[in-house]
């Protein structure tokens, strides 16, 4: 029997304890995963483990039950929310309906009624899980997916195999409307090395595809289709800023897929293109963003414009034999770089080519290396020098010397790229830190606001900020505000509510709550003990 998790939220601990004892939760298929005193604590617990059901009071300090329900639905669209309250007011019930709350229960809560409600929810959750995991239903859905002609068109479009002259005719023939001024390609990659028991890679991907159709494609009015083992969306955009919204919503979808389908999903977002003919470039960027999961971790949304804003993909005219080496330079270990460089040289010199052909291949190699370096903002002078005899020197090298030279050049480029990436992340994290120190008193300071100022998505910002500082942005902001509060408590003879406003808290009671949570005592007692 499936066990579903329940998070209870109420500022009256006695009420929660009573409800925990009213029924045998495990016997009806539930476990109590935790208890929170208010909505803010509940969101913290939900980030650690996504609950299946949240049972919350309405009236609580700092964040009430309705605001909590709104935030939870954004983070975890599939969560079931029950609200219990002593307030039999129409406006509360109406707002609960708008938020798709499962039940609105009046206090005191009757044990039989509570058991009946949770039994019904258990049956609903079981049906939902069975539907999403049932092998036969997934197979049927797979056979009834998008018409073959439309899928072939989308695949041809992203691969650059549809000419501008043929676009209008194909769109008309296949009854496809794509009239947005801009588009962004999104690639959804489902890990096939981390499969839940009893389901194949194909069916797991189809489960993720169904979720993506419901939660992304329908919401964005995007075109969704399978391509080369991944799921691809062509998302219409109104402005360049839409790519940050897409990135954040894709990050939330990664969490949803993990919770519902037990799938590890990585999503790549390409740069926005201004017409359909440019979609192949956006698709290549999205596909490359997915490949960066080895650097940034799987199960996340990765925006190519944020992780590699100055990069351009290698030209189609570049030697295809170098692609593996260039990919290793970008993302793999030095050992892999050496292996790929050696493999390229062995293939280059192992075909018994003529001297003139060998010289031509050396010229192509050097040109490709230069183009790769320039497109990735690599300083070429420390790597290649200014010696005009470079081509002649390389052309006269034997295979061993050529391998050593190519390995050396490739590793130097890799080192520069890693340094550039680190510098880029450190730059915007430093700007964020400086902004906090200058504006910590701003009561409206949030992740969304700082990301808007920096021009990055919340998902990427949160990942890099924690990587660079060891703290989440909210934790860093809270710690800095507490440091400033301590200085004022000790150094100034001001009221606590004044200090609260000075360090960014509109609610003095919430300021005291946060202060006591960090230091173990109230602000007034902290001041008294240090006088």
- Is residue 281 a part of any domain in this protein? no
Q: What is the pLDDT of residue 371?
A: 78
Query: In terms of domains, do 169 and 94 share one?
Result: no
* 463 and 394 both lie in a single domain: no
Q: Is the same domain home to 162 and 248? A: yes
Residue 115 domain flag: yes
Under the phi-then-psi rule, with left for phi > 0, alpha for psi from -120 to 50, and beta for the rest, what region is 455?
left
What domain range is 177 assigned to?
146-267
Tell me the C-alpha distance between 408 and 117, whole Å: 67
In sequence order, what are the residues at sequence separation of 6 or more whose Cβ sits closer than 8 angstroms to the Cβ of residue 93?
Answer: 104
Pair 47, 107 in one domain? yes
CATH assignment of the domain containing 504 = 1.10.10.60
What pLDDT is recorded for position 460?
Answer: 79
**Conformational region of residue 309, where left means phi above 0, alpha means psi within -120 to 50, and beta covers everything else:** alpha
* 128 in the same domain as 61: yes
Distance CA 109, CA 117 (A): 11
* pTM of the predicted structure, to 2 decimals: 0.49
Same domain, yes or no, for 188 and 246? yes
Report the pLDDT value the prediction gives residue 207, as an integer from 0 to 100.
93
Question: 62 and 168: one domain?
Answer: no
Could you tell me the two tokens for 472? 């989440």
| pLDDT given at position 165 | 83
Angle between helices 399-439 and 473-491 (to 10 degrees): 40
pLDDT of residue 350: 60
Mention every residue, 6+ apart, whose C-beta is less than 8 A from residue 357.
Answer: none
Domain end marker among 74, 107, 133:
133
Please give the tally of structural domains in the chain.
Answer: 4
Instruction: Characterize the bridge pairing of strands 230-237 and 182-190.
Output: antiparallel
Neighbours of 125 (CB within 10 A): 18
Q: Is residue 431 part of a domain?
A: no
237 near 118, Cβ under 8 Å?
no
* Domain membership flag for residue 314: no
Let me know whether 445 and 504 are in one domain.
yes
Sheet holding 103-106, edge to edge: 30-36, 4-9, 53-57, 80-85, 103-106
* One domain for residues 241 and 124: no
Both tokens of 347, joined, read 């293939």
The per-residue pLDDT string of the chain (531 residues; one tens digit each, 9 = 90 and over) reads: 568 999 999 988 888 888 888 889 999 999 999 999 998 899 888 888 889 999 998 888 888 888 898 888 888 888 999 888 776 665 666 666 677 777 878 877 788 888 999 999 999 988 888 877 676 666 666 556 557 888 889 999 999 888 888 888 888 888 888 989 899 999 999 998 888 888 888 899 899 999 999 999 999 999 999 999 899 999 999 988 889 999 999 999 999 999 999 999 999 999 999 889 899 999 999 998 888 786 677 899 999 888 765 443 433 333 556 778 888 887 778 898 898 888 888 877 665 555 666 677 777 788 788 878 877 778 888 888 766 677 778 877 877 888 898 899 889 888 888 777 666 666 788 889 989 999 999 999 988 898 888 888 888 788 888 888 888 899 999 999 999 999 999 888 889 999 999 999 999 989 999 999 999 999 988 988 876
Question: Residue 56 pairs with which residues in a beta bridge?
Answer: 9, 83
Instruction: For residue 483, tell me if it sits in a domain.
Output: yes
Q: Is 260 within a domain?
A: yes
The CA-atom distances, in angstroms, between 170 and each of 149, 150, 166, 228 are: 10, 9, 6, 22
284 found inside a domain: no
Which residues are registered as beta bridge partners of 184? 235
- For residue 277, tell me if it sits in a domain: no
């Amino acid at each position: 029997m499936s066990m579903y998790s329940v998070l209870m939220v109420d500022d009256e601990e006695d009420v929660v304890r009573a409800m925990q004892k009213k029924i045998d939760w495990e016997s009806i298929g539930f476990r109590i995963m935790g208890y929170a005193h208010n909505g803010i604590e509940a969101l913290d617990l939900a980030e650690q483990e996504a609950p299946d059901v949240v049972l919350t009071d309405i009236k609580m300090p700092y964040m009430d039950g309705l605001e909590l329900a709104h935030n939870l639905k954004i983070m975890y669209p599939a969560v079931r929310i029950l609200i219990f309250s002593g307030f039999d007011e129409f406006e509360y019930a109406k707002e609960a309906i708008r938020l798709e709350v499962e039940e609105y229960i009046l206090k005191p809560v009757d044990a039989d009624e509570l058991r009946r409600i949770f039994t019904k929810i258990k049956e609903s959750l079981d049906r939902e899980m069975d539907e999403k995991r049932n092998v036969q239903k997934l197979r049927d859905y797979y056979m009834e997916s998008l018409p073959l002609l439309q899928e072939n068109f989308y695949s041809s479009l992203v691969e650059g195999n549809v000419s501008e002259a043929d676009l209008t005719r194909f769109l008309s023939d296949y009854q496809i409307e794509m009239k947005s001024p801009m588009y962004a390609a999104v690639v959804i990659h489902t890990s096939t090395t981390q499969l839940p028991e009893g389901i194949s890679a194909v069916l797991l991907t189809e489960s993720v595809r169904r979720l993506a159709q419901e939660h992304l494609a329908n919401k964005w009015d995007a075109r969704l289709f399978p391509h080369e083992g991944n799921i691809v969306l062509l998302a219409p955009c109104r402005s360049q800023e839409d790519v940050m919204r897409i990135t954040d919503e894709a990050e939330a979808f990664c969490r949803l897929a993990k919770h519902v389908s037990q799938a590890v999903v990585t999503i790549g977002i390409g740069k926005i293109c201004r017409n359909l003919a440019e979609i192949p470039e956006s698709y290549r960027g999205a596909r490359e963003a997915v490949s960066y999961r080895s650097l940034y971790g799987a199960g996340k949304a990765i925006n190519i414009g944020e992780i590699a804003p100055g990069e351009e993909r290698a030209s189609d005219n570049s030697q295809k034999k170098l692609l593996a080496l260039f990919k290793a330079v970008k993302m793999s270990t030095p050992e892999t770089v050496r292996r790929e460089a050696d493999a390229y040289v062995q293939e280059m010199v192992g075909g018994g080519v003529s001297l003139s052909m060998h010289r031509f291949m050396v010229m192509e190699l050097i040109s490709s290396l230069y183009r790769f370096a320039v497109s990735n903002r690599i300083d070429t002078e420390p790597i290649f020098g200014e010696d005009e005899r470079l081509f002649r020197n390389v052309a006269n090298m034997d295979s061993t010397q050529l391998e050593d030279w190519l390995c050396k050049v490739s590793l130097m480029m890799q080192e520069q790229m890693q340094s550039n990436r680190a510098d880029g992340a450190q730059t915007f994290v430093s700007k964020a830190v400086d902004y906090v120190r200058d504006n910590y008193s701003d009561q409206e300071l949030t992740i969304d606001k700082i990301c808007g100022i920096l021009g990055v998505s919340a998902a990427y910002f949160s990942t890099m900020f924690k990587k660079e500082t060891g703290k989440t942005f909210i934790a860093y902001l809270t710690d800095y505000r507490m440091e400033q509060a301590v200085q004022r408590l000790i150094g100034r003879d001001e009221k606590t509510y004044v200090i609260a406003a000075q360090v960014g808290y509109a609610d003095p009671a919430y300021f005291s709550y946060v202060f006591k949570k960090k230091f173990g005592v109230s602000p007034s007692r902290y001041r008294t003990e240090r006088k």
